[in-house]
Amino acid sequence: MNGDDSLPEGVDRRTFDGRERLATSGPTVYGEPTDGDWRLWDVGRSKLGAMLELGMGTGLDGGESVLYLGAASGTTVSHVADFAGPTYAVEFAPRPVRDLVGVAEDRENLFPLLKDARAPTSYAHVVEADLDVVVQDVATRGQAEVALRNRQFLRGDGKGRLLAAFKARSEDVTAAPETVFERLLDELEEGYEVLETTRLDRFHDDHLGVVARPK
């Protein structure tokens, strides 16, 4: 058990370089420091990590089934797989997927998918229904639309959660981030109830962390 009620089981705070920082237990992936079996979760490289560090109410307890959109080479999704249940990792670009496959070799619950998060029908036959969590970190225009299209995978009993990091500059490089975020949230509310939002600028410029559940 960790001593922080806001953190899921399997995520702890360990001392690295004299500071208490987030950590999960698992094989190293990106050269992160370790403390025994625990490895540093670098929140400067992880939007979900930043959401946890900032105390957002993600609803994560540990052991959840997860669809991760925008997995890249596996930095954050490797930490997710350390504490979650079945974790489906969607990434569009072939080169980072090669690294992601290597990460999955050490994690039997991590399933890499070379797919486009904007086209969930292409992986609907692989990903199980009624998942607990969709994590979204997709730096592309139409981020709210991506969340709406993947809403189909979330459990519909009010307990399913979308944990998204919206990047303003991916939507519009000319508009103020506040304006972009307002538009995205308005669109998101077509299919989700937004429970919490927090700016992630302390760790990630012009990003908004969002916790929502499907309507």
Buried residues in 174-183 as b, exposed as e (16+ CB within 10 A):
eeebeebbee
What's this model's pTM, rounded to 2 decimal places? 0.96
Judged by DSSP in three states, 51 sits in: helix
pLDDT over 90 at 4, yes or no: no
Average pLDDT over residues 172-185: 97
Task: Using CB atoms within 10 Å of the CB of residue 103, give its burial: 0 to 12 exposed, 13 to 18 middle, 19+ buried.
Answer: buried
The mean of the pLDDT values for the chain is 96
Helical spans, DSSP H, in the chain: 47-53, 75-83, 94-104, 143-149, 168-171, 177-188
Nearest to 137 by CA among 7, 45, 63: 45
Summarize the annotated binding site as residue ranges. Answer: 75-76, 91-92, 116-117, 137-140
Position 6 scores a pLDDT of 80
pLDDT over 80 at 75, yes or no: yes
pLDDT over 80 at 2, yes or no: no
Position 57 scores a pLDDT of 97
User: In the chain, what are the domains?
Assistant: 43-214 (3.40.50.150)
Residue with tokens 């730096």: 139
- Please report, rounded to a whole number, the percentage of residues in the chain having pLDDT higher than 70: 98
Position 1 scores a pLDDT of 42
- Tokens representing residue 39 in the block: 């490895």
pLDDT tens for 52-67 read 999 999 999 999 999 9
Summarize the annotated binding site for S-adenosyl-L-methionine as residue ranges. Answer: 75-76, 91-92, 116-117, 137-140
pLDDT over 80 at 19, yes or no: yes
pLDDT over 90 at 5, yes or no: no
Nearest to 158 by CA among 212, 196, 120, 197: 212
Nearest to 7 by CA among 79, 109, 87: 79
